Amino acid sequence: MDSIILQVLNGLDKGAAYALIALGLTLIFGTLGVVNFAHGALFMIGAFCAVFLQRVLSYSRISIDESQKDFLGNPLKVETPFVEIWFGPDVGGSIVDWSVPLAILFAIPVMIAVGFAMERGLIKHFYKRPHADQILVTFGLAIVLQEIIKYFYGANPIPTPSPEAFIGSYDFGVMLGFDANRIIYPYWRMIYFAFAMVLIFGVFAFLQFTTFGMVVRAGMADRETVGLLGIDIDRRFTIMFGVAAAVAGLAGVMYTPIVPPNYHMGMDFLVLSFVVVVVGGMGSLPGAVLAGFLLGILESFASTTWATTTLPGINQIIIYLVAIIVLLTRPRGLMGRRGVMEE
């Protein structure tokens, strides 16, 4: 029982990342009808927003402290981040410490700008082209984006720690009446899950309860009619592209403490996220979220020792296996709409 709960918990944070990326992919596909292979790159850029902000905040003045000596007897060089000089050691120190959550504020405008630039600059010209062309050009864009990041940040993963307050784990087992240390779950993953839920509900609420969202939903259902009503639907769809980019970027920002970001993390997630979208059903937002969590949890169950000893390697292929079975038995995916990409 406790191991089941543990695996569900383990699957939640990865599932949350899948769900967020798949949500953005589906938003873009549902609104603009574009298959965006560069969406993983947006996730990666989000992660590197956190890295960038952390680097900027911990930018230091190097001063030589004569009173301290290093092991060679030379005066010790002391690095003091500029924020500590400006705001005092306490406030400054905690700003550096909290750089990842702060990066959320930084990443939102950046990601929306990147999303706008991408849509207006490139994807706009591909609405009328075949899906294969859309896949290819965004695939090329993804290569370009990740090479740019590689140029600035190198090829190695960059550790980006979470705030000190969230390092460590919470013992769920004790709360549920199991022995200590049976179900332990890192704080940051809990926060990631909560953050993802807030984001997902935020997007759904935005679409469901605002006039803007209503128009967007109407446009997803019948773009032409909405256009005939005199609504500039293209502009709204561009904004939705920005929102989708921001969702992917925020998913990336918050993921940095879990897995140190490197330049090809986006591609790794993208392949799986596409599978998630297809399993959930092309064009279905709830389907994408549901399939994201489902596959995340399935993957973590398949990684247990019991599963890997019964069926070796199952943890590596489970997602693809599920995708193949779903595609062959329920071609529309779990919650796919009729008439979406069925040519």
Partner 1 sequence: MLGLKHKDATLFLIVAALAVFAPFFMNPFPTDSGLAQFNAGYPDLMQKFVIFGVFAIGFNILFGLTGYLSFGHAAFLGVGSYSCVWMFKLLGYNVIPGILLSVAVSAVFALLIGIISLRRSGIYFSILTLAFAQMSFALAYSVLSNPAFNLTNGETGLQVYSSDPQIFHREGLPDLPHLFGLSMRATSTLDVGPWSFQFNAGYYLCAIIMLASFYLAIRIFRSPFGMMLRAVKSNQQRMNYTGLNSKPYTLAAFVISGMYAGLAGGLLSAVDPLAGAERMQWTASGEVVLMTILGGAGTLIGPILGAGLIKYFENIFSKINDAVLHQWFALLPDGLENAVVAVIHPFVGKGWHLTLGLLFMIVVIFLPGGLVEGGQRLGRALMAARARLRGGGREAKSGAADGQPGTPAE
Annotate 192-245 with DSSP letters as a single string.
HHHHHHHHHHHHHHHHHHSHHHHHHHHHHH-HHHHHHTT--HHHHHHHHHHHHH
Q: Which is nearer to partner 1, 71 or 151 (CB)?
A: 151
Q: How far apart are CA 318 and CA 255, in angstroms?
A: 22
Which two tokens mark 312?
């070796």
CB-wise, 163 or 280, nearer to partner 1?
280
* Nearest distance from C-beta of residue 280 to partner 1, angstroms: 12
CB of 41 to partner 1, least distance (A): 11
Minimum CB separation of residue 331 from partner 1 in Å reads 6
DSSP conformational letter for 73? S
Exposed/middle/buried for 205, CB within 10 Å: 0-12, 13-18, 19+?
A: exposed
Minimal distance in Å, beta carbon 298 to partner 1? 14
- H-type helices in the chain, by residue range? 2-32, 39-57, 82-97, 99-121, 131-153, 172-175, 187-209, 211-221, 223-228, 233-255, 265-280, 285-302, 305-310, 314-329
| Residues in touch with partner 1 (CB under 8 A) | 35, 122, 125, 129, 131-133, 135-137, 139-141, 143-144, 147-148, 150-151, 267, 271, 274-275, 278, 282, 312-313, 316-317, 320-321, 323-324, 327-328, 331, 341, 343
Choice between 35 and 250, CB closer to partner 1: 35
Query: With respect to partner 1, which residue has the nearer C-beta, 61 or 125?
Result: 125
| Shortest distance in whole angstroms from residue 264 CB to partner 1 | 9
Which of 2/268 has CB closer to partner 1? Answer: 268
